[in-house]
Amino acid sequence: MRLTSKGQVTIPKHIREKLGVRPGDEIGFREEGQQVILEGGGGEGGQASIGGRIEKALDFIDKLRREGRVLPLGKSVDAHMDDLRGYSEDADDPGFQRRP
């Protein structure tokens, strides 16, 4: 890597991915003898920036949606449970419960 006149370097993509850092995230450095160690999420309290944390959370929710593990919006939890349990509007169905 080459240091720019402003003291900047580009962190290789595989290292950024391993650390889980993105543009806007805080990173930290610490010295160990003659080495400088780069740490992801090294800002205040050891946390990444709020923008980076929100982006990661939204990415995670999107991943769960694609896998069908997040309930779609607009339905109540009871309605989803009825769908999962296979309840019908049949009064003879032992699982049927009429909603008020």
Write the pLDDT tens digit of every residue in 35-69.
888 877 644 444 456 666 777 788 888 888 788 77
In a domain, 40, yes or no: yes
Report the Cα 59 to chain-centroid distance in Å: 5
In a domain, 1, yes or no: no
In a domain, 3, yes or no: no
Q: In sequence order, what E strands does the chain have?
A: 27-32, 35-40
Structural domains of the chain, count: 1
* Token duo for residue 18: 């391993």
Residue among 79, 85, 83 at smallest CA distance from 99: 79
Kindly report, residue by residue over 2-28, the tens digit of the pLDDT. Answer: 889 998 888 888 888 887 788 877 788
In a domain, 100, yes or no: no
* Token duo for residue 65: 């949606």
